[in-house]
Amino acid sequence: MHEKFFLGKNILITGGTGSFGQAFTKVVLRNYKPKRLIIFSRGEAKQLEMASKFSQNKYKCLRYFIGDVRDLERLKIATRNVDYVVHAAAMKQVPASEYNPIECIKTNITGAQNIIISSIENRVKKVLALSTDKAVSPVNLYGATKLVSDKLFISANNLSGNHGPIFSIVRYGNVYGSTGSVVQIFKKIMGTKKPFPITDKKMTRFFLTLEDGVNFVIESFSKMIGGEIFIPKIFSIKITDLARCLDPNKPLDIIGLRPGEKIHEVMTSKDDNRSLIEFKNYYNLASISVYKNLNKFLTNKNREKGKFVNENFEFSSEKNKFLNDKEIKKMIKSDMNF
């Protein structure tokens, strides 16, 4: 994307001290020149730790803003004079969400609504929310709350009016090495005598690197017209292949599926196909509830022409292209160097 896109803009990222937030900050500070980049999160310790990596003395545009997306009044203050919002804050851990359901609902659903209200009141220009493949045909509370969150953000385009924000979503799978991911669990076990815990030998997942995730979000900002779910064309990995590439000598312990866990994930279902448009590197799930005529989505802002997928298409981690060992090791290495 052109380096002038964020020039002189005020950007707020919720969940800014998380894995994605720190990676987003790194890319924006390296490649763009915003007026302000506001790191919004609720943990002072994590903000202090992040400030040691990204100092306000070195980066004058940075602001560290303590707050919780559950707190509407705090968000109204945080979004004043903001041009773009990246909503990355969420309660994401499946077992924790199953055990603490109301906390997951407060963060992922009430928090999403608070972002919408504060962005409309302060006339933010664009809001892009991060979603997950677990929001498709959800079997756990995390996925169910993100499905509701997605519906709220898409529907918000009906509320904002001609001069209000436009709202869109980026949906992707597992981010390699993100907080709480299976990769982190494996890495903690490496160097010990413990086996790698595998829930099921058949398990597959969509994977992408943090850098690819950040770049896709930024590219989606430049393309969005409101009401889309942007889905990158990413590859799948067999969890047993990932374990072998991290440590080929480590034995596996098959522990069985955890509550709310799928063997395979789906990024789009067959029911989405009437409004799912394919481009070279991504899919655009256009909203019929916002726009009755979806032809406006068939050509993006880069003048690339898309096409509707066929009626039997399904973007599933089981039926997708898989990374081989060489490609997995390359992803591991690229993540270490990012």
Residues known to be catalytic: 134
Q: What CA–CA distance (Å, rounded) separates 132 from 3?
A: 28
**Nearest to 64, CA basis, from 21, 108, 117:** 21
**Under a CB-based contact definition with an 8 Å cutoff, are residues 173 and 132 in contact?**
yes
What the block records as the tokens of 266 is: 């789906």
Buried b (16+ CB within 10 A) or exposed e, 145-165: bbbbbbbbbbebbeebeeebb
Give the other-Cβ count within 10 Å of 103's Cβ. Answer: 13
